[in-house]
Amino acid sequence: MATISEYYPEEVLHPGETLKEKLDEMEMTIKEFALRTDKPEKTIIAVLKGDSSITSEMAVLFENVTRIPAKFWISMQSKYSEYKVRLKRSLDVEKAEEWARCFPYAQMANKGWVEKTGKITEKTINLFEYFAVSTHDGWNKLYMESKLRLAAYASLKFTQEPHATSAWLRHGELLSDAIESKSYDKVLFRKILADIKALMADHPEDYFQQLQYLCLQAGVKVVYTPKLPKVPVSGSTRWIKNNPIIQLTDRYKQNDRFWFTFFHEAGHILLHGKKYISLDGIKFSGADSKKEAEANKFAEEWTFSDKEEKEVIKALDAGSLTLQDIIDFAKKFGTHPAMIIGRLQKKSIIPYSVGREFFLPIELSNV
Protein backbone atom coordinates (compact mmCIF):
# COMPACT_ATOMS: atom_id res chain seq x y z
CA MET A 1 0.00 0.00 0.00
CA ALA A 2 1.61 3.25 -1.15
CA THR A 3 1.24 6.36 0.97
CA ILE A 4 0.86 9.87 -0.39
CA SER A 5 4.08 11.78 0.25
CA GLU A 6 4.04 15.42 -0.82
CA TYR A 7 5.10 18.72 0.70
CA TYR A 8 2.33 20.92 1.99
CA PRO A 9 3.25 24.33 3.46
CA GLU A 10 2.22 25.06 7.03
CA GLU A 11 0.43 28.26 6.02
CA VAL A 12 -0.81 29.75 2.74
CA LEU A 13 -2.11 33.31 2.52
CA HIS A 14 -5.44 34.20 0.96
CA PRO A 15 -4.92 36.01 -2.42
CA GLY A 16 -6.80 38.94 -0.90
CA GLU A 17 -3.60 39.76 1.02
CA THR A 18 -1.69 40.14 -2.24
CA LEU A 19 -4.50 42.18 -3.76
CA LYS A 20 -4.42 44.50 -0.74
CA GLU A 21 -0.68 45.06 -1.24
CA LYS A 22 -1.20 45.71 -4.94
CA LEU A 23 -3.93 48.30 -4.30
CA ASP A 24 -1.61 50.08 -1.84
CA GLU A 25 1.16 50.01 -4.42
CA MET A 26 -1.16 51.49 -7.08
CA GLU A 27 -2.55 53.96 -4.53
CA MET A 28 -6.02 52.87 -5.56
CA THR A 29 -9.07 52.83 -3.30
CA ILE A 30 -11.38 49.87 -2.98
CA LYS A 31 -14.18 51.90 -4.55
CA GLU A 32 -12.09 52.80 -7.59
CA PHE A 33 -10.92 49.20 -8.03
CA ALA A 34 -14.52 48.00 -7.82
CA LEU A 35 -15.55 50.48 -10.51
CA ARG A 36 -12.65 49.58 -12.78
CA THR A 37 -13.34 45.82 -12.49
CA ASP A 38 -17.12 46.27 -12.68
CA LYS A 39 -17.62 44.27 -9.50
CA PRO A 40 -19.68 45.26 -6.44
CA GLU A 41 -17.63 47.01 -3.78
CA LYS A 42 -18.85 44.56 -1.16
CA THR A 43 -17.46 41.72 -3.27
CA ILE A 44 -14.00 43.31 -3.34
CA ILE A 45 -14.14 43.95 0.41
CA ALA A 46 -15.03 40.30 1.01
CA VAL A 47 -12.03 39.19 -1.07
CA LEU A 48 -9.70 41.56 0.77
CA LYS A 49 -10.92 40.22 4.12
CA GLY A 50 -10.43 36.65 2.97
CA ASP A 51 -14.12 35.90 3.29
CA SER A 52 -14.64 35.29 -0.42
CA SER A 53 -12.70 33.52 -3.17
CA ILE A 54 -11.34 35.00 -6.36
CA THR A 55 -13.23 33.28 -9.16
CA SER A 56 -11.80 32.66 -12.62
CA GLU A 57 -13.99 35.46 -13.96
CA MET A 58 -12.70 37.87 -11.33
CA ALA A 59 -9.10 36.84 -12.03
CA VAL A 60 -9.50 37.84 -15.67
CA LEU A 61 -11.05 41.18 -14.66
CA PHE A 62 -8.29 41.83 -12.10
CA GLU A 63 -5.67 41.12 -14.77
CA ASN A 64 -6.54 44.26 -16.78
CA VAL A 65 -6.41 46.54 -13.78
CA THR A 66 -3.48 45.11 -11.79
CA ARG A 67 -1.43 43.98 -14.82
CA ILE A 68 -0.95 40.68 -12.96
CA PRO A 69 -1.87 37.62 -15.12
CA ALA A 70 -5.17 35.90 -14.33
CA LYS A 71 -3.38 32.56 -13.92
CA PHE A 72 -1.47 34.05 -10.95
CA TRP A 73 -4.72 34.90 -9.10
CA ILE A 74 -6.25 31.55 -10.05
CA SER A 75 -3.15 29.68 -8.84
CA MET A 76 -3.06 31.60 -5.54
CA GLN A 77 -6.74 30.92 -4.91
CA SER A 78 -6.30 27.24 -5.77
CA LYS A 79 -3.37 26.87 -3.37
CA TYR A 80 -5.25 28.66 -0.60
CA SER A 81 -8.39 26.56 -1.14
CA GLU A 82 -6.33 23.37 -1.00
CA TYR A 83 -4.58 24.63 2.14
CA LYS A 84 -7.93 25.22 3.86
CA VAL A 85 -9.20 21.78 2.87
CA ARG A 86 -6.01 20.11 4.08
CA LEU A 87 -6.23 22.06 7.33
CA LYS A 88 -9.68 20.62 7.86
CA ARG A 89 -8.32 17.24 6.81
CA SER A 90 -5.64 17.38 9.48
CA LEU A 91 -8.38 17.95 12.05
CA ASP A 92 -10.30 14.93 10.69
CA VAL A 93 -7.16 12.82 11.04
CA GLU A 94 -6.59 14.06 14.58
CA LYS A 95 -10.18 13.20 15.53
CA ALA A 96 -9.72 9.68 14.13
CA GLU A 97 -6.54 8.82 16.02
CA GLU A 98 -8.40 6.99 18.82
CA TRP A 99 -10.26 5.03 16.14
CA ALA A 100 -6.95 4.08 14.50
CA ARG A 101 -5.58 2.80 17.82
CA CYS A 102 -8.33 0.14 17.86
CA PHE A 103 -6.76 -1.73 14.92
CA PRO A 104 -3.98 -4.35 15.20
CA TYR A 105 -1.87 -2.06 13.03
CA ALA A 106 1.49 -3.72 13.69
CA GLN A 107 0.16 -7.13 12.60
CA MET A 108 -1.47 -5.60 9.52
CA ALA A 109 1.82 -3.93 8.63
CA ASN A 110 3.77 -7.16 9.12
CA LYS A 111 1.44 -8.82 6.62
CA GLY A 112 2.01 -6.01 4.13
CA TRP A 113 -1.54 -4.67 4.28
CA VAL A 114 -0.44 -1.17 5.35
CA GLU A 115 2.84 0.71 5.52
CA LYS A 116 4.94 0.22 8.66
CA THR A 117 5.07 3.32 10.86
CA GLY A 118 5.14 4.21 14.53
CA LYS A 119 3.42 7.58 14.09
CA ILE A 120 -0.28 7.60 14.91
CA THR A 121 -1.03 10.32 12.35
CA GLU A 122 0.49 8.23 9.56
CA LYS A 123 -1.29 5.12 10.82
CA THR A 124 -4.60 6.96 10.67
CA ILE A 125 -4.03 8.23 7.13
CA ASN A 126 -2.88 4.77 6.00
CA LEU A 127 -6.02 3.19 7.46
CA PHE A 128 -8.16 5.73 5.60
CA GLU A 129 -6.43 4.65 2.38
CA TYR A 130 -6.70 0.94 3.25
CA PHE A 131 -10.46 1.15 3.73
CA ALA A 132 -10.89 3.73 0.94
CA VAL A 133 -12.70 6.15 3.26
CA SER A 134 -12.11 9.83 3.90
CA THR A 135 -12.95 9.82 7.61
CA HIS A 136 -13.51 7.30 10.37
CA ASP A 137 -17.20 8.17 10.13
CA GLY A 138 -17.11 6.67 6.64
CA TRP A 139 -15.75 3.42 8.06
CA ASN A 140 -18.40 3.50 10.78
CA LYS A 141 -21.23 3.89 8.27
CA LEU A 142 -19.93 0.99 6.19
CA TYR A 143 -18.93 -1.54 8.82
CA MET A 144 -20.91 -0.61 11.92
CA GLU A 145 -24.14 0.87 10.59
CA SER A 146 -24.18 -1.01 7.25
CA LYS A 147 -25.50 2.07 5.44
CA LEU A 148 -24.55 0.64 2.03
CA ARG A 149 -27.36 -1.92 2.36
CA LEU A 150 -25.24 -4.70 0.89
CA ALA A 151 -24.59 -8.09 2.46
CA ALA A 152 -20.88 -7.53 1.84
CA TYR A 153 -21.03 -4.87 4.55
CA ALA A 154 -23.19 -6.53 7.19
CA SER A 155 -23.06 -4.66 10.48
CA LEU A 156 -20.21 -5.55 12.84
CA LYS A 157 -21.67 -3.33 15.56
CA PHE A 158 -22.12 -6.15 18.07
CA THR A 159 -19.00 -8.09 17.07
CA GLN A 160 -16.34 -8.46 19.75
CA GLU A 161 -13.50 -7.15 17.54
CA PRO A 162 -15.17 -5.08 14.80
CA HIS A 163 -12.02 -3.16 13.81
CA ALA A 164 -9.81 -6.19 13.30
CA THR A 165 -12.66 -8.09 11.65
CA SER A 166 -13.28 -5.26 9.20
CA ALA A 167 -9.55 -5.19 8.38
CA TRP A 168 -9.62 -8.91 7.63
CA LEU A 169 -12.72 -8.55 5.45
CA ARG A 170 -11.25 -5.55 3.62
CA HIS A 171 -8.13 -7.51 2.71
CA GLY A 172 -10.31 -10.19 1.14
CA GLU A 173 -12.13 -7.50 -0.81
CA LEU A 174 -8.86 -6.05 -2.11
CA LEU A 175 -7.63 -9.50 -3.15
CA SER A 176 -10.88 -10.30 -4.94
CA ASP A 177 -10.83 -6.96 -6.78
CA ALA A 178 -7.50 -7.97 -8.30
CA ILE A 179 -8.97 -11.18 -9.74
CA GLU A 180 -10.64 -11.04 -13.14
CA SER A 181 -13.62 -13.35 -13.32
CA LYS A 182 -16.48 -14.35 -15.55
CA SER A 183 -20.05 -14.07 -14.30
CA TYR A 184 -21.19 -16.49 -11.62
CA ASP A 185 -22.69 -19.74 -12.98
CA LYS A 186 -24.66 -21.57 -10.31
CA VAL A 187 -25.18 -24.73 -12.35
CA LEU A 188 -21.51 -24.97 -13.24
CA PHE A 189 -20.42 -24.31 -9.66
CA ARG A 190 -22.56 -27.16 -8.35
CA LYS A 191 -21.12 -29.42 -11.06
CA ILE A 192 -17.54 -28.39 -10.24
CA LEU A 193 -18.02 -29.37 -6.58
CA ALA A 194 -17.56 -33.00 -7.63
CA ASP A 195 -14.09 -32.15 -8.97
CA ILE A 196 -13.35 -30.23 -5.78
CA LYS A 197 -14.37 -33.23 -3.69
CA ALA A 198 -11.89 -35.35 -5.67
CA LEU A 199 -9.27 -32.68 -5.00
CA MET A 200 -10.08 -32.88 -1.28
CA ALA A 201 -9.64 -36.67 -1.37
CA ASP A 202 -6.23 -36.48 -3.07
CA HIS A 203 -5.06 -33.28 -1.35
CA PRO A 204 -2.05 -32.64 -3.65
CA GLU A 205 0.60 -30.04 -2.78
CA ASP A 206 -1.02 -27.39 -4.97
CA TYR A 207 -4.53 -28.11 -3.69
CA PHE A 208 -5.30 -24.45 -2.92
CA GLN A 209 -4.23 -23.18 -6.33
CA GLN A 210 -6.30 -25.92 -7.99
CA LEU A 211 -9.24 -25.02 -5.77
CA GLN A 212 -8.98 -21.34 -6.78
CA TYR A 213 -8.78 -22.29 -10.46
CA LEU A 214 -11.77 -24.66 -10.36
CA CYS A 215 -13.98 -22.17 -8.54
CA LEU A 216 -13.00 -19.36 -10.87
CA GLN A 217 -14.35 -21.34 -13.82
CA ALA A 218 -17.80 -20.82 -12.32
CA GLY A 219 -17.21 -17.18 -11.36
CA VAL A 220 -16.49 -17.92 -7.68
CA LYS A 221 -13.42 -16.19 -6.24
CA VAL A 222 -11.51 -17.98 -3.48
CA VAL A 223 -8.89 -15.99 -1.55
CA TYR A 224 -6.69 -16.62 1.45
CA THR A 225 -6.33 -14.04 4.21
CA PRO A 226 -4.33 -14.88 7.33
CA LYS A 227 -6.29 -14.27 10.48
CA LEU A 228 -5.63 -11.39 12.83
CA PRO A 229 -5.32 -11.54 16.65
CA LYS A 230 -8.64 -11.95 18.47
CA VAL A 231 -10.49 -12.66 15.21
CA PRO A 232 -11.34 -16.39 15.39
CA VAL A 233 -12.68 -16.54 11.83
CA SER A 234 -12.30 -19.67 9.69
CA GLY A 235 -13.96 -18.39 6.55
CA SER A 236 -16.44 -15.99 5.06
CA THR A 237 -18.76 -15.78 2.09
CA ARG A 238 -19.87 -12.49 0.53
CA TRP A 239 -20.97 -11.21 -2.81
CA ILE A 240 -18.89 -8.37 -4.24
CA LYS A 241 -19.72 -6.86 -7.63
CA ASN A 242 -21.96 -9.79 -8.58
CA ASN A 243 -19.39 -12.48 -7.80
CA PRO A 244 -19.42 -14.69 -4.70
CA ILE A 245 -16.21 -14.48 -2.67
CA ILE A 246 -15.03 -17.27 -0.39
CA GLN A 247 -12.40 -15.89 1.98
CA LEU A 248 -10.49 -18.52 3.96
CA THR A 249 -7.91 -18.62 6.75
CA ASP A 250 -5.61 -21.40 7.94
CA ARG A 251 -6.93 -21.05 11.47
CA TYR A 252 -6.85 -24.74 12.44
CA LYS A 253 -3.83 -25.67 10.31
CA GLN A 254 -5.22 -29.05 9.25
CA ASN A 255 -6.96 -30.36 6.15
CA ASP A 256 -10.22 -31.72 7.62
CA ARG A 257 -11.15 -28.32 9.12
CA PHE A 258 -10.09 -26.49 5.96
CA TRP A 259 -12.19 -28.58 3.58
CA PHE A 260 -15.23 -28.58 5.84
CA THR A 261 -15.04 -24.78 6.01
CA PHE A 262 -14.77 -24.50 2.23
CA PHE A 263 -17.85 -26.67 1.62
CA HIS A 264 -19.68 -24.79 4.39
CA GLU A 265 -19.06 -21.51 2.54
CA ALA A 266 -19.94 -23.11 -0.80
CA GLY A 267 -23.23 -24.15 0.78
CA HIS A 268 -24.01 -20.54 1.63
CA ILE A 269 -23.46 -19.55 -2.00
CA LEU A 270 -25.71 -22.24 -3.42
CA LEU A 271 -28.38 -22.21 -0.72
CA HIS A 272 -28.61 -18.60 0.43
CA GLY A 273 -27.60 -16.34 -2.46
CA LYS A 274 -26.46 -12.73 -2.50
CA LYS A 275 -28.21 -11.36 0.56
CA TYR A 276 -26.40 -13.40 3.19
CA ILE A 277 -22.90 -12.91 4.55
CA SER A 278 -21.17 -15.67 6.45
CA LEU A 279 -18.48 -15.11 9.08
CA ASP A 280 -17.67 -18.60 10.29
CA GLY A 281 -16.46 -18.50 13.88
CA ILE A 282 -17.60 -14.94 14.69
CA LYS A 283 -20.80 -13.78 16.36
CA PHE A 284 -22.34 -10.81 14.57
CA SER A 285 -25.79 -9.33 14.14
CA GLY A 286 -26.32 -10.69 10.61
CA ALA A 287 -25.73 -14.33 11.54
CA ASP A 288 -28.66 -16.70 10.98
CA SER A 289 -28.46 -19.94 12.99
CA LYS A 290 -30.81 -21.75 10.61
CA LYS A 291 -28.73 -20.84 7.56
CA GLU A 292 -25.53 -21.78 9.37
CA ALA A 293 -27.00 -25.20 10.23
CA GLU A 294 -28.02 -25.66 6.60
CA ALA A 295 -24.49 -24.82 5.46
CA ASN A 296 -23.06 -27.31 7.97
CA LYS A 297 -25.38 -30.00 6.66
CA PHE A 298 -24.34 -29.17 3.10
CA ALA A 299 -20.65 -29.51 4.08
CA GLU A 300 -21.29 -32.83 5.80
CA GLU A 301 -22.99 -34.26 2.71
CA TRP A 302 -20.02 -33.32 0.54
CA THR A 303 -17.24 -34.38 2.90
CA PHE A 304 -18.61 -37.30 4.93
CA SER A 305 -22.37 -37.79 4.96
CA ASP A 306 -24.61 -39.09 7.77
CA LYS A 307 -25.29 -42.23 5.76
CA GLU A 308 -21.58 -42.86 5.30
CA GLU A 309 -20.95 -42.15 8.97
CA LYS A 310 -23.50 -44.77 10.02
CA GLU A 311 -21.79 -47.33 7.79
CA VAL A 312 -18.43 -46.65 9.43
CA ILE A 313 -19.89 -46.73 12.95
CA LYS A 314 -21.59 -50.04 12.19
CA ALA A 315 -18.22 -51.53 11.26
CA LEU A 316 -16.69 -50.03 14.38
CA ASP A 317 -19.39 -51.57 16.56
CA ALA A 318 -18.63 -54.92 15.02
CA GLY A 319 -15.07 -54.49 16.27
CA SER A 320 -13.47 -54.83 12.85
CA LEU A 321 -12.48 -51.21 12.12
CA THR A 322 -8.79 -50.63 11.52
CA LEU A 323 -6.88 -47.68 10.10
CA GLN A 324 -6.74 -49.57 6.80
CA ASP A 325 -10.53 -49.81 6.99
CA ILE A 326 -10.65 -46.02 7.31
CA ILE A 327 -8.54 -45.71 4.17
CA ASP A 328 -10.79 -48.14 2.33
CA PHE A 329 -13.93 -46.34 3.45
CA ALA A 330 -12.43 -43.01 2.32
CA LYS A 331 -11.77 -44.44 -1.14
CA LYS A 332 -15.27 -45.87 -1.28
CA PHE A 333 -16.87 -42.54 -0.32
CA GLY A 334 -14.49 -40.42 -2.42
CA THR A 335 -13.29 -38.45 0.58
CA HIS A 336 -10.10 -38.09 2.62
CA PRO A 337 -9.47 -40.30 5.69
CA ALA A 338 -9.03 -37.14 7.78
CA MET A 339 -12.69 -36.24 7.20
CA ILE A 340 -13.76 -39.58 8.72
CA ILE A 341 -11.30 -39.50 11.62
CA GLY A 342 -12.12 -35.86 12.38
CA ARG A 343 -15.86 -36.53 12.56
CA LEU A 344 -15.48 -39.59 14.77
CA GLN A 345 -13.16 -37.72 17.11
CA LYS A 346 -15.49 -34.73 17.30
CA LYS A 347 -18.34 -37.04 18.33
CA SER A 348 -16.08 -38.79 20.88
CA ILE A 349 -16.54 -42.09 19.07
CA ILE A 350 -12.80 -42.60 18.90
CA PRO A 351 -10.05 -40.94 20.98
CA TYR A 352 -8.06 -38.00 19.58
CA SER A 353 -4.91 -40.13 19.69
CA VAL A 354 -6.21 -42.40 16.92
CA GLY A 355 -5.55 -41.62 13.27
CA ARG A 356 -3.56 -38.43 13.77
CA GLU A 357 -1.35 -39.40 10.82
CA PHE A 358 -4.26 -38.70 8.45
CA PHE A 359 -4.36 -35.01 9.32
CA LEU A 360 -2.28 -32.93 6.92
CA PRO A 361 -0.89 -29.48 7.69
CA ILE A 362 -2.39 -26.49 5.89
CA GLU A 363 -0.18 -23.88 4.27
CA LEU A 364 -2.05 -21.35 2.15
CA SER A 365 -0.99 -18.67 -0.29
CA ASN A 366 -2.75 -16.83 -3.10
CA VAL A 367 -1.77 -17.40 -6.74
φ, ψ (nearest 5 deg) of residue 172: -65, -40
Q: pLDDT tens digits, residue range 218-253?
A: 999 999 999 898 888 999 999 988 899 999 998 888
pTM to 2 decimal places: 0.80
Domains and CATH numbers, the chain: 15-92 (1.10.260.40), 99-177 (no CATH), 181-367 (no CATH)
* Higher pLDDT among residues 70 and 365, named by residue: 70
Q: Of 98, 105, 159, nearest to 127 (Cα)?
A: 105
List the alpha helices (DSSP H) in the chain. 15-26, 30-37, 41-49, 56-66, 70-95, 97-100, 105-110, 120-131, 136-139, 162-177, 186-202, 207-217, 255-272, 289-303, 306-317, 323-333, 337-346
Q: pLDDT tens digits, residue range 182-212?
A: 999 999 999 999 999 999 999 999 999 999 9
What is the per-residue DSSP string for 118-183?
A: S-HHHHHHHHHHHHT-SSHHHHIIIIIS-TT--GGG---TT-SSHHHHHHHHHHHHHHHHTS--PP
Q: Which residues contact 253 (CB under 8 A, 6 or more apart)?
A: 361, 362
Q: What is the pLDDT of residue 196?
A: 98
**Burial of 5: CB neighbours in 10 Å, binned 0-12, 13-18, 19+:** exposed
